Structure 1
């Protein structure tokens, strides 16, 4: 079945819960909607996820699906793409902010450690931070170290580790959240992390 053959009777069958009818709609529109998503996102894997989410939402709300569906499906994919772009932009700005704060903290420590006792305290704190980082799950730790210590971008890490960029960003956020919990007794660090 192709897009032109989608009729009101098929939509009625979907409203009634027919998985076969839903499958026909999916097969007819999947490639078309995926092409639209790729146009906006430039990433076939993320585009496939967006289109799958659209169809999943349609199935959950199948009783309210109305004919004609063509414009509705296109708009749903466009909205899904916009939501993805917004979420990635927000996540990236949070990650960049944390990265800048950590670098600023490191620079302040280097500049303001002329006293040996401060140096010893800093080394102890540094050891505690390294221990906390080493206790992270291996993938999370690798991503965190590559991002904060090696200064690699989320895109570079994703390519090296064969992960999605969104997965890398989530791993960085998870690492920061875990470190905040583990290092909460280091009050001055919490200000920077």
Structure 2
């Protein structure tokens, strides 16, 4: 579970992971749970060494950038929500506006048109650097609405791709003697 959390949070900072852990267990801390703290540090190292280098972020352009701006605005209306179903519904609404399933094969439970899988691969590729990812409403519920909006802003500004390129360059640079 910690490996999934660190990969989704996309961080090498144990304090960030502890912030997520405290949302579900407010009494937990590195001092009160030293074994969990060791596991948090192991998860961060695994992420840094194996997961992060394999990520491939895409820069948003055209319709993807417009959809991400719309998603950020839509999520602003959900500020503070931790309801994964409500957040997933918001993600689907944005997807229907920008990436509708034109095949007619997929329908939502209420009979409305479905969403093209392209919407989700767009989200994962741009925001998480992955081809696939967690259910996006659940991701937003765990990561936080404001944090997700900040992630979208970083993607739209080009910061995510720049940060990842700098990370990869630092890994391939020869060690100073």
TM-score with structure 2 setting the length: 0.27
Quick check: which one's helix share is greater? 1
Q: What's the TM-score once normalised by structure 1's chain length?
A: 0.26
